[in-house]
Structure 1
């Protein structure tokens, strides 16, 4: 992946992460880029040896063809929705981008910042659920934390309530 841009998108398959992905494909991605989906899952007690191994380093890179296979995604504990897969397949086909996914386990704020350096990413796009000030104060904002701690440029795509 040397020499090409590695554009990361934080994806949890929610409407706001789909908006961030769509914005990235429409506004940022260009031919030859690597589009890397970064998914974080809560830390847990997994019986499978691979999960324990990957808990510290994240999963290996998962190519789009495998990420579209329900048997493979079940192995990683994710379930990509058809709309997200459609956006990814269209981007790969029409824009000539390489689509990869990487899954981390643990606190989303910390793992997204780790992913930036581990992969390494040229930039990261993240969705924002639009929590009010009170909820953000109690729950914390993943996007706010990442913007303030990331070692690369971060774009926050605000979730619109038009759905």
Structure 2
């Protein structure tokens, strides 16, 4: 086996990001890798503004899985992982024997996801795709499309199948 890879997954705690996370664990992550959750929060007013200001350029320090259930740590960085995401990564940490970490950024998700690739640095990035229509993509922009076009590492887009 080679050196441990840093596999990044963009997470926003939506169903499509959980699908991408599970896909990454099932298809990309292998024993000894670092699974790094990249969480981008909008700029705004947070209870602990000093932390956001301190880490605004580089993103938060890498937060270990053990701290992702600590309310003080979560409040400090303004992130709120959902129970489903925590369950997925907790199982992966044990079964796949991977080191799970999170890095929080603040700002435009399109820009910050690409910055994460270089600042961490990541060996590959997995992002979900909500499948917005053309109008929503024009108005909101597409994080996955931006990552594919601007990232300095390989990017895999996992399409989310909508249940109708």
TM-score (norm 2): 0.94
Offset of 1:141 from its aligned partner? 0.7
Tell me, what secondary structure is at the counterpart of 1:68?
A: coil
1:129-152 deviation per Cα after TM superposition (whole angstroms, max 9, x unaligned): 100112212221111011000000
Q: Which residue of 1 aligns with 2:43?
A: 43
Q: Which residue of 1 aligns with 2:128?
A: 127
Tell me, what secondary structure is at the counterpart of 2:162?
A: coil
Offset of 1:3 from its aligned partner? 2.9
1:101-124 deviation per Cα after TM superposition (whole angstroms, max 9, x unaligned): 000001101111111001000000
Moved more, 134-143 or 91-100: 134-143
TM-score (norm 1): 0.94
Q: Which residue of 2 aligns with 1:27?
A: 27
Q: Size of the alignment, in residue pairs?
A: 162
- Cα distance in 2 between the residues matched to 1:87 and 1:61: 19
Q: Give the root-mean-square deviation of aligned CA atoms.
A: 1.5
Q: Which residue of 2 aligns with 1:93?
A: 94
> Unaligned regions of 5+ residues in structure 2, if any?
none
- Cα distance in 1 between the residues matched to 2:57 and 2:73: 20
- Cα distance in 2 between the residues matched to 1:139 and 1:52: 25
- Cα distance in 2 between the residues matched to 1:69 and 1:50: 16
> Unaligned regions of 5+ residues in structure 1, if any?
none
